[in-house]
Copies of this chain bind each other. A is one copy, B any other.
Amino acid sequence: MSKIPVMELFGPTIQGEGMVIGRKTMFVRTAGCDYACVWCDSAFTWNGTEKHRVRMMEPEEVLDEMVALGGNRFNHVTITGGNPALIADPMARFIDLCHQRGYRVGLETQGSRMQEWFLQIDDLTISPKPPSSRMETDWAVLDRIVRRLHDDGVNLSLKVVVFGDEDVEYAKTVFARYPYVSQKFVQPGNELVTEAKDISHHLLARLAWLFQVAIDTPEFNTVRVLPQLHAMVWSNERER
């Protein structure tokens, strides 16, 4: 495959979560995922409902469209999915093109597999999925990926989306397993991903809950608790 299966390409917008929260970025959302989290907020990338919208694009085309959309109003690009780690060479090429233009490149992926181009990423978030997702973490694979990225000096963060107490325990396990990763995040899960209306009240209540969990938990002393700002500001609006 020499092309990238692009589900959405949009921006500039504001990264609403995680290690570069608040920073302006363009989003490239790839189609396809090896997981099927029950609460996935991007299920349209893999459940077939929007298959007709997927475009197979050359890396150069993706870059051109991004520049057409964003002009000089951005210098950061976020690759997300689905799971972008399913894509090999064309993604490496795309990242090179971005770097040639002076853009920083971020990635969000669950850590179920790795590509060599991960080592070129400027802001990399591994987001292992907790029990509420109904997915199983392959710890041996995750161990190898996190270790490799850390040893290579990649700017790496771990982020766990948390819906309830069992997920809190999972987050503790993840953070304890990789003590050498200093950037650690928890994020309240969005239970209303199909709701079109203003969900900010609900999200703030979930954030208050997770704040309190962190306050009470010594294991979260260095963990940062952050919401999804975009969902609070723009609800579940697509391509925002």
Contact = CB atoms under 8 A, between A and B. Distances in A.
Interface in A1-42: 12-14, 20-24
A13 to B, nearest CB: 6
A100 interface: no
Given A200-B201, A225-B14, A217 B73 contact: yes
Contacts of A74: 221
Interface stretch (A82-90, A143-151, A164-172, A204-212): A204-212
A222 interface: yes
Contacts of A232: 204, 207, 232
A201 B200 CA distance: 8
Contact of A225 (B22, B215, B226): B22
Nearest to A74: B221
A221 B24 contact: yes
Interface of A: 12-14, 20-24, 72-76, 185, 200-201, 204, 207-208, 211, 214-218, 220-227, 229, 232-234
B218 A72 contact: yes
Contacts of A200: 200-201, 204
B222 A75 contact: yes
A170 to B, nearest CB: 19
A204 B233 contact: yes
A14 to B, nearest CB: 5
A66 to B, nearest CB: 14
Contacts of A23: 222-224
A104 B7 CA distance: 42
Given A201-B200, A229-B207, A224 B73 contact: no
